A and B are shown apart, each in its own frame.
Chain A
Amino acid sequence: MTAMTYREAIRSALRDALRTDERTFLMGEDVGRYGGAFAVSHGLLEEFGPERVRDTPLSESAFVGAGIGAAINGMRPIVEVMTVNFSMLAMDQVLNNAATLRYMSGGQLNIPLVVRMATGGGRQLGAQHSHSLEGWYAHIPGIVVLSPATVADARGMLLAALQHPDPVFFFEHATLYGVEDDIDEHAGPADISHAAVRRGGKDVTLVAYGGSVRKTLAAAEELARQGIDTEVIDLRVLRPLDMETVLASVKKTHRAVVVDEAWRTGSLSAEISARIMEGCFDALDWPVERVCGAEVPAPYAKHMEDASLPQVPVIVETVQEMFA
């Protein structure tokens, strides 16, 4: 086992892929000489050269689309977009091309493309760098959406994404980059079909993903001290959703809370809530609750940003009320 950060785990997967598969290359804004906006690709330019670690101009639509084209033509591109907010500039390519070409061509084309980007709030970066828009991506048939919440998953899920035949969108929560853990640095690809039960429990199911998983686990510890035994599920894969794991848990606990820092309206949390209702309504002892981000553009000031995101005390209170 080796101690490494979430950032280093992603870098280690990138390095493995670049070493073992000559079709793989990395491109994006400042991935090369700068070393990556979040320093994920630091050192890769020196090791692999400018052909395979490509700095791009500020043209998200062109380089995401170029990733799609290169993937169709036999390469395995990894595209880094600095943040999910910037990825909106490439949404034409994501929605109209990456997600459709296989279907529109009657199955003739494969697009083995991985697009990585930072997501989420908590760093006081304001309303154009902090949103959590994974749910928008998860709305789209034709793509796979991943959200690793642990250091081991950051490496293993990226390696798995790089073996997937379809476009994979890989969301790295920006508050996790510095998180450290002991992982097997030689571990191979992780499962990218299933959610993971991060904590077993019998009283209530807490469903979270990405940056909310750590907060939800902290809330679970607090609740345990109060005698409420929670089960925490890390979704990991946001499309296609692994509802079997969620439903099996809710059938056992009869209560569910979805924790999602994205906006509540039209969201993944709404989808999961609906699917719990569809899948095990009779098992529920309580309406599905949600702890979501406030419906505001992400504010800058710390106290306002903190209040706009799901926090441990709110998760704890929400669960307590279900047992009041």
Chain B
Amino acid sequence: MSESTPERAHALLLLRGMLLIRRFEEKAAELYQAGKIRGFLHLYIGQEAVAVGAMQALTPDDAIVATYRDHGHALARGMPAGAVMAEMYGKANGCSRGRGGSMHLFDASRRFFGGYAIVGGGLPIAVGLALADKMRGDARVTACFFGEGAVAEGEFHECMNLARLWDLPVLFLCENNLYAMGTALERSESVPDLRAKSAAYAIPAETIDGMDVSAVEAATRSAAEAVRAGGGPRLLEFETYRFRGHSMADPELYRPKDEVARWKEHDPIAGFIKLGREVGTLSDAGLQVIERAVATEIAEAVAFAEAGPWEPLEDLTSFVTSEPGR
């Protein structure tokens, strides 16, 4: 493949997107250990192909709803790494002005409608976003990311039902990383097959290798187009794995080390690099260029966060409601 084909450019864009998340998360873990980031920190390492692949299928007019493990989605949507990092620092130049933190990233200008930290709690929001689009006749898609743990929640079932009943343009994107915190899917579901649940609501579903960014992108494109064309909701299940604990506080007693090691052999980034080398889209020099650019972007993000001001305490109650002082 030649140097300048669109395919090559796109492959490099995917790789850069995934590497940005990986290195950002590694840096975040380091900053957490250093006490710069506090609260909960849920790393996305291992799942990068899902956010990066899926986001390719969405237009700037589409809406995104994510979970508390939302750094990857925010970055893949194009939110500036500095605004995300500053939010994790709790600074006023963070994307949520220090009021949200790692679990609650927002960027209304990019229609990134937030990280939701009550499992399943973002699904009704996604249904409502889609309802508004449908009522206005806008050909938009609402992409709703959630983990497989959410399918045990009533809100999942209520929302699947409502989305189908009203034929809403929602794309349900389930990241099945096998564990709801420490509870494996088969230990919490009488029917662990997610497609069977989707079938119960007559919502077409497909299971995709979530470690393969190209497969994620292709499946999401096709599903998003079906949704956009007015076909009603779709569900995609991405089989993936988080390489790190649930949060930084996780001793990982619930999963065997060899299972983690096995999944790491399917590292979405290493696999994509290997493939790129095989087909000739990626050279060592090309990889270095990307790594350097990503390192620069993250260094700048950290600098932006470090330099950011703290929100003045006089503004503690700003944004509780639209009227100041209420």
Name A's B-contacting residues (CB within 8 A): 25, 51, 54, 56-57, 59, 61-75, 77, 92-93, 96-97, 101-110, 141-144, 164-166, 240
**Which residues from B are CB-within-8-Å of A93?**
121, 124
**Which residues from B are CB-within-8-Å of A109?**
106, 108, 113-114
Q: How far is the CA of A102 from the CA of B155 in the complex (A)?
A: 22
**A57-B158, A106-B100 given; A73·B321 CB < 8 A:** no
* Chain B nearest CB, measured from A80 CB (Å): 15
**Which residues from B are CB-within-8-Å of A110?**
322
**A62-B161, A66-B162 given; A106·B98 CB < 8 A:** yes
**A72-B128, A92-B155 given; A59·B162 CB < 8 A:** yes
A-B contact pairs, 29 of them (CB 8 A): A54-B166, A57-B162, A59-B162, A61-B158, A62-B155, A62-B159, A65-B125, A65-B127, A65-B159, A66-B131, A69-B126, A69-B128, A69-B132, A69-B142, A72-B113, A72-B129, A73-B63, A92-B118, A96-B116, A96-B121, A101-B114, A102-B319, A102-B321, A103-B99, A104-B96, A104-B99, A106-B99, A106-B106, A107-B319
Q: Any chain A CB within 8 A of the CB of B73?
A: no
Q: Is the CB of B158 within 8 A of A62?
A: yes
**Which residues from B are CB-within-8-Å of A73?**
63, 128-129, 132-133
**Which residues from A are CB-within-8-Å of B104?**
104-105
Across the two chains, which residue of chain B brings its CB closest to A65? B124
**Which residues from A are CB-within-8-Å of B98?**
106
Q: How far is the CA of A225 from the CA of B320 in the complex (A)?
A: 46
Across the two chains, which residue of chain B brings its CB closest to A54? B166
Counting from the closest, the 7 A-B pairs by CB-CB distance are: A69-B128, A65-B124, A106-B97, A62-B158, A59-B158, A66-B128, A105-B106
* Chain B nearest CB, measured from A142 CB (Å): 5
**Which residues from B are CB-within-8-Å of A67?**
128
**A66-B162, A74-B136, A104-B114 given; A61·B124 CB < 8 A:** yes
Mask for B161-188, Cβ within 8 A of A = 1, else 0?
1100110000000000000000000000
* Chain B nearest CB, measured from A62 CB (Å): 4
Apart from A57-B158, A104-B104, A108-B106, list 10 A-B contacts with CB within 8 A: A59-B162, A62-B127, A66-B124, A66-B131, A70-B129, A75-B131, A96-B121, A103-B319, A106-B98, A142-B320
Q: Any chain A CB within 8 A of the CB of B54?
A: no
Q: Any chain A CB within 8 A of the CB of B95?
A: yes
Q: Is the CB of A97 within 8 A of B322?
A: no
Binding site secondary structure of chain B: mixed
Across the two chains, which residue of chain A brings its CB closest to B326? A240
**Which residues from A are CB-within-8-Å of B161?**
57, 59, 62
**Which residues from A are CB-within-8-Å of B166?**
54
Q: Is the CB of B96 within 8 A of A106?
A: yes
Mask for B24-66, Cβ within 8 A of A = 1, else 0?
0000000000000000000000000000000000000001000
**Which residues from B are CB-within-8-Å of A51?**
135
**A56-B162, A73-B128, A75-B132 given; A65·B121 CB < 8 A:** yes
* Chain A nearest CB, measured from B124 CB (Å): 2
* Chain B nearest CB, measured from A285 CB (Å): 32
With beta carbons under 8 angstroms apart, the residue of B100, B121, B319, B321 that contacts A92 is B121
**Which residues from A are CB-within-8-Å of B154?**
59, 61
* Chain A nearest CB, measured from B126 CB (Å): 6
Q: How far is the CA of A71 from the CA of B131 in the complex (A)?
A: 10
Q: How far is the CA of A165 from the CA of B281 in the complex (A)?
A: 51
**Which residues from A are CB-within-8-Å of B273?**
none
Q: How far is the CA of A156 from the CA of B290 in the complex (A)?
A: 61
* Chain B nearest CB, measured from A200 CB (Å): 28
**Which residues of B118-154 are within 8 A (CB) of A?**
118, 121, 123-133, 135-136, 142, 154
**Which residues from B are CB-within-8-Å of A103?**
99, 319-320
Q: How far is the CA of A93 from the CA of B120 in the complex (A)?
A: 10
**Which residues from A are CB-within-8-Å of B113?**
69, 72, 109
Q: Is the CB of B96 within 8 A of A105?
A: yes
Q: Any chain A CB within 8 A of the CB of B283?
A: no
* Chain A nearest CB, measured from B148 CB (Å): 19
**Which residues from B are CB-within-8-Å of A141?**
320-321
Across the two chains, which residue of chain B brings its CB closest to A67? B128
With beta carbons under 8 angstroms apart, the residue of B127, B155, B319 that contacts A69 is B127
* Chain B nearest CB, measured from A197 CB (Å): 22
Q: Is the CB of B162 within 8 A of A68?
A: no
**Which residues from A are CB-within-8-Å of B116?**
96-97
Across the two chains, which residue of chain A brings its CB closest to B103? A104
* Chain A nearest CB, measured from B116 CB (Å): 8
Q: Any chain A CB within 8 A of the CB of B296?
A: no
Across the two chains, which residue of chain B brings its CB closest to A110? B322
**Which residues from B are CB-within-8-Å of A25?**
135
